[in-house]
Amino acid sequence: MLKTFKKGGVHPEENKISAGKAVEVLPPSQKVYIPLGQSLGAPAKPLVDKGSEVKTGQLIAKGESFISANVHSSVSGKVIKIDDITDPSGYRRKAVFIDTVGDEWLETIDRTETIKRDCDLSAQEIIRKINEMGIVGMGGATFPSHVKLMVPEGKKAEILIINGVECEPYLTADHRLMLEKGEQILVGVTLLMKALGVAKAVIGIENNKPDAISHMQELAKSFKGVEVVALKVKYPQGAEKQLIKAITGREVPSQKLPIEVGCVVNNVGTAFAVYEAIQKNKPLFERVVTVTGDKLASPSNFMVRIGTPVSELIEKAGGLPAETGKIISGGPMMGKALNSADIPVMKGTSGIVLVPEEKSKRMEMRNCIRCGKCVSACPMGLEPYLLEREVNAGLWEEAENSRIMDCMECGCCLFTCPSGRPLLDYLRLGKNKVGQIIRSRTK
Amino acid sequence: MWGVVLALVPAMLVSLWYFGLGALISMAVAVFSCVAVEYLVTKFVLKQEPTINDGSAIITGVLLAFNVPSNIPWWELVIGSIFAIAVVKMSFGGLGKNPFNPALAGRVFMLISFPVDMTSWPLPIQNRFVLVDALTGPTALGTLREGMKSGETLSQITSQLPDYGNMLLGNIGGSLGEVSAIALLIGGIYMLFRKIISWHIPVSYLLTVFIFTGILWLINPDKYIDPVFHLLAGGLILGAFFMATDMVTSPMTTKGMLIFGVGCGLLTVLIRVWGSYPEGVSFAILIMNAVTPLLNKYIKPKRFGETVKA
């Protein structure tokens, strides 16, 4: 019996059409736009100005708040300006505009392919270096990694869980990374274990990636305390709390962090970034992005510099198909539709999915028939139909009591609704409102 | 919705076999009038785009016909359909908003309005081509009730009751769609298999009836008939699989569904054994329909991370 989480979940079509494509390294783009806020928390403060010359890997903005992450230049060249751009979330935010000249990397970065397994840094030094190198959660949530590694007073980390689930349909970035950089990921895992002071790490991979499972299992034999577990395919298994439940059987309490149950979860992409940061002195300025879609000429996995416009990736994958209805940043379940193809790749961009016109339309909305499918599908045990009504009626307190803040916006309810109700939209709206009310209370 | 229609096909065929022309006309009249009423109400009263394409009016029509004797005068069925669709469903806002199952409410409305026509049951097979003055006989539950009232012993009554083989096949008197347990079970299992319904309501409903009547039977087998009879008789299987599972009028959570099913089962047995009607499925489900909002309010799903000790 393969492990999985018990409550709710759905099975969207997997459509992992780019799974067989090796990661292709793209040359730096002629122009990049590097947003200052690429992680959860406060945006970084810029250290460069118009006219500054930068090298690839150079720190260009410093994260000064507790929850904030450093930003590095992904190319060498000249800063044109610091100005607003639309980022994937749809908001106008500050970004550093750089015109690329050549590709001159900082001398401190080790660009050789040799794999370095040993590290004599202490836990504190590892965490400090992860902070310096601007590492954030690569699965999409972009939580600054150094913060995650600092275990709060009175809590104890027992297990490091590494997320290799990639439960979103279409996306194959993590899958390819495990196949091609498996050993580096495992070194990254041991570094994270050292930083946390845990003796055990479990890498969870869904069994629709048998090649990745056997490859990682084989490699893990030479890493002490690291175990690879195959999981039954079910969306949203890549969600932190669901993954912990699937692997350990522990349930993170409502509104609490995984550390409550002694777990810390990191993505395989993050483990790889940690390896490069610690062992190769390389800041986080590039990542693997899956560019895919039903009608796309050649769905691909690219190693892309942060700040590269999405349009360039689409060109490299065969150009925008004529009947494209939506460009989604992230996976089709939780990703966001972009309002322009000029939006740059960020640290959390795991994929670009081009949805054909006929699939991009929403179902016609009908009356709720109280079938209860959304209730059965919700992995958090909520009642989306009820929350929709409460939000629609502006009953914020009732919505809070119905635990709207537990919603992680996985979209299972919307996916399963036979009447095409925009449940997720109401939930997001309600979370926003209720969140404001909760924050104003503590002031 | 079309999956439900497909699931009703075996029972339809059985009713055509046993009740012939009468069954055909009743189903046609009920389906046509339900769809027509929904069309007219949406178009001319609510002034909206007609919603008949969702197929729900067809199901209501078939289920309403299933719940009446096959030789019912056609105009009574039309009135039942008008009540079911116009009053019970559309006046609340259409599909998804009605608190009660339209077909069942229509059936009960007809039972109260036309008590004689609604309780004279044509005998199967010999009335295939007879529309008026059909030979009628009581249902199995009716025979039981009458016998009890006139003080006959259970063994005397049992000799007049159909055997289980005929009750499984449907060769008994009764409403045109409820007679064959096997045909209804095939449809029910098909719906379970296609995940149109979940097992919670039918299983808890049938199990409750079986256990409750089983306890009574064990206490006094001379007074109470055995639980298998209760499972096969009347509209229980039709109700458990096709009426109680109506998603609009049943609870949202699995826990709620189980309570709903147990409630239906208890009420059905209470009415059958101690009530004034021989059959209690319709009333039991309608009463539990009324309880559904309460179940939705108080029976919550188990929240993720709720009962964990940190």
Q: Where are the domains of chain A?
A: 1-26+108-361, 27-100, 373-442
Chain A / chain B CB contacts < 8 angstroms? 80
In chain A, the percentage of residues whose pLDDT exceeds 70 is 100
In three-state form (DSSP H/G/I as H, E/B as E, the rest C), the secondary structure along A293-317 is: ECCCCCCEEEEEECCCEHHHHHHHC
- Please tell me whether the interface predicted TM-score (ipTM) of this complex is above 0.90: no
| pLDDT over 70 at B132, yes or no | no
pLDDT at B120: 84
CB-closest option in A241, A253, A379 to B310: A253
Quote the minimal CA–CA distance from A423 to chain B in Å: 16
Q: How far is A248 from chain B (nearest CA, A)?
A: 14
- Contact call for B95 and A369, based on CB within 8 A: yes
B positions 9-68 inside 8 Å of A (CB) = 51, 54
Chain A positions touching chain B (beta carbons under 8 Å): 7, 241, 245, 250-254, 256, 260-261, 366-372, 375-376, 378-383, 385-386, 403, 406, 419
CB contact under 8 A, B252 and A406: no
Nearest Cα neighbor of B85 from B71, B115, B64 is B64
Q: Which amino acid is at A434?
A: V
pLDDT for residue A423 is more than 80: yes
Query: CB–CB of B96 and A380 under 8 A?
Result: no
Residue B128 has pLDDT above 80, yes or no: no
Contact of A66 with A74, CB cutoff 8 Å = no
pLDDT at res. B91: 93
Q: Give yes or no for B219 touching A (CB within 8 A).
A: no
State yes or no: pLDDT of B279 exceeds 80. yes
Which tens digits make up the pLDDT trace of B253-265? 999 999 999 999 9
How many Å apart are CA A243 and CA A161, to the nearest integer?
8
Residue A102 falls in which region: left (phi positive, over 0), alpha (psi -120 to 50) or beta? left
Does any CB of chain A come closer than 8 Å to the CB of residue B308? Answer: yes
**Whether the Cβ atoms of residue A386 and residue A402 lie closer than 8 Å to each other:** yes
Q: Which of B 270-299 lie inside 8 A of A, CB atoms?
A: 296
CB contact under 8 A, B254 and A381: no
Q: Reading across the β-sheet that carries A53-54, which strands appear in turn?
A: A31-35, A92-100, A77-86, A53-54
Amino acid type, A44: A
pLDDT of residue B145: 85
Stretch A107-112: mean pLDDT, rounded? 93
Per-residue pLDDT tens over the stretch A212-252? 999 999 999 999 999 999 999 999 999 999 999 999 999 99
Which of chain B's residues have a Cβ under 8 Å away from the Cβ of A366?
Answer: 51, 54, 95-96
Distance, C-alpha A296 to centroid of its chain = 23
**CATH class of the domain defined by A1-26+108-361:** alpha beta
Q: Given an 8 Å threshold on Cβ–Cβ distance, is A251 in contact with B94? A: no
The predicted model gives A114-142 an average pLDDT of 92
The whole-angstrom separation of Cα B168 and Cα A289 is 61
Cβ pair A238, A209 in contact under 8 A: no
CB of B119 less than 8 A from some CB of A = no
Q: What is the mean pLDDT of chain B?
A: 91
Q: Give the distance from residue B106's alpha carbon to the nearest chain A alpha carbon, in angstroms.
A: 20
| HSE of B310, CA atoms in CB hemisphere, 13 A | 12
Q: Read out DSSP for A94-125?
A: EEEEEEE-S--B-TTS----PPP------HHH
Of residues A241, A371, A386, nearest to B247 (C-beta): A371
Return the number of other C-beta atoms located less than 10 Å from residue B69's C-beta.
Answer: 22
Query: Which pair of tokens denotes residue B204?
Result: 């808890």
For the sheet with A286-293, list strands across it: A23-25, A300-305, A286-293, A351-356, A324-329, A336-337
Long-range contacts of B143-146 (CB under 8 A, 24+ apart): B144/B225, B144/B233, B144/B278, B145/B278
Taking CB atoms and an 8 Å limit, are A381 and B310 in contact across chains?
no
Residues 6+ apart with CB under 8 A from B259: B251, B295, B299
Q: Which residue of B has its CA nearest to A367?
A: B96
Side-chain half-sphere exposure of B212, counting CA atoms within 13 A: 20
Cβ-nearest to B304 among A370, A383, A406: A406
The number of C-alpha atoms within 13 Å of B95 and in the hemisphere containing its C-beta is: 27
Determine the residue among A251, A390, A407 to mutate to test chain B binding: the one whose Cβ has the most chain B Cβ atoms within 10 Å.
A251
Q: Does the pLDDT at position B85 exceed 80?
A: yes
Please tell me which residue of chain B has the smallest CA distance to A408.
B304
Of A245, A254, A370, the CB nearest to B247: A370
- Which among B262, B255, B256 has a CA at the least distance from the CA of B284? B262
Q: Is the pLDDT of residue B310 over 60?
A: no
Asked whether the beta carbons of A350 and A18 are under 8 A apart, the reply is no
CA distance to partner chain B, nearest, from residue A310 (Å) = 37
Q: Are A32 and A75 in contact (CB under 8 A)?
A: yes
Nearest CA in chain B to A370: B248
The Cα–Cα gap between B137 and B19 comes to 13
Average pLDDT over residues A58-79: 94
The dihedrals phi and psi of A329, each to the nearest 5 degrees, come to -95, 120
Give CA–CA dist B141/B139, Å, rounded. Answer: 5
pLDDT in tens, A307-322: 999 999 999 999 999 8
As a whole number, mean pLDDT of residues B10-21 equals: 92
Residue A117 predicted with pLDDT over 70: yes
The answer to whether residues B168 and B14 touch, using CB atoms and an 8 Å cutoff, is no
Which percentage of chain A shows pLDDT scores above 90?
87
Mutate to test the interface with A, among B56, B90, B289, B303 (most CBs of A within 10 A): B303
Q: How far is CA A315 from CA A292, A312, A341, A354, A359, in A?
A: 12, 5, 11, 12, 22
Average pLDDT in the A18-42 region? 93
Q: CB of B182 within 8 A of CB of B238?
A: no
Q: Cα–Cα distance between B153 and B159 in angstroms, integer? A: 10
The total of other beta-carbon atoms located within 10 Å of residue B205's CB is 31
- Contact B310/A at CB under 8 A: yes
Find the CB nearest A251 among B93, B247, B305.
Answer: B305
Contacting residues of B for A386, CB less than 8 Å apart: 252, 296
Beta strand A324-329 with A351-356 is antiparallel
Asked if B252 lies within 8 A of A375 by C-beta distance, the reply is: yes
Strand-pair category, A351-356 with A286-293: parallel
User: From its phi and psi, is residue B217 left (phi > 0), alpha (psi between -120 and 50) or beta?
Assistant: alpha
For B213-250, what is each residue's pLDDT tens digit? 999 999 998 889 999 999 999 899 999 999 999 999 99
Find the CB nearest B303 among A245, A366, A380: A380
Cβ within 8 Å, pair A375-B301:
yes
* % pLDDT > 90, chain B: 65
Q: Which of A115-119, B122-126, B182-186, B234-238 has the lowest mean pLDDT?
A: B122-126
B306: number of Cβ within 10 Å: 15
Query: How many angstroms separate the CA of residue A252 from the nearest CA in chain B?
Result: 5
In B, minimum Cα distance to A244 occurs at B305
Helices (H) and strands (E) in chain A, counts: 14, 17
Residues in chain A closer than 8 A to B301 (CB atoms): 375, 378, 381-383
pLDDT grade, residue B119 (50/70/90)?
A: confident
Q: Residue B306: which of A250, A254, A372 has the nearest Cβ?
A: A254
pLDDT of residue B51: 79
Q: Cβ distance A310 to A344 under 8 Å? A: yes
**Residue B162 in contact with partner chain A when CB distance is under 8 A:** no
Query: A292 near A21, Cβ under 8 Å?
Result: no
Reading phi first (left if > 0) and then psi (alpha if -120 to 50, else beta), residue B158 is in alpha
Collapse the DSSP code of B9 into the 3-class scheme (helix H, G, I; strand E, B; otherwise coil) and give the result: helix
Q: Are B68 and B119 in contact, with CB atoms under 8 Å apart?
A: no
Amino acid (1-letter code) at residue B217: W
- Residues 6 or more apart from B119 whose CB is under 8 A from it? B69, B111, B142
Q: Do A367 and B93 touch (CB under 8 A)?
A: yes
Question: Distance (Å) from the C-alpha of residue B304 to the closest C-alpha of chain A?
Answer: 5
Stretch among A25-34, A110-119, B45-54, B200-209 having the lowest mean pLDDT: B45-54
CATH topology of domain A27-100: OB fold (Dihydrolipoamide Acetyltransferase, E2P) (2.40.50)
Q: Which of residues 172-191 of B touch A (CB under 8 A)?
A: none
Residue B133 has pLDDT above 70, yes or no: no
- Mean pLDDT value of segment A29-57: 93
Check A251 against B251: CB less than 8 A apart. no
Shortest distance between the Cα of B310 and any Cα of chain A, in A, equals: 6
- Quick one: pLDDT at residue B124? 83
For A261, the closest chain B residue by CA position comes to B310
B96 touches chain A (CB under 8 A): yes
For residue B54, pLDDT beyond 90? no
Q: What is the H or E stretch that residue A224 is in?
A: none
Helix (H), strand (E) at residue A263: strand A263-267
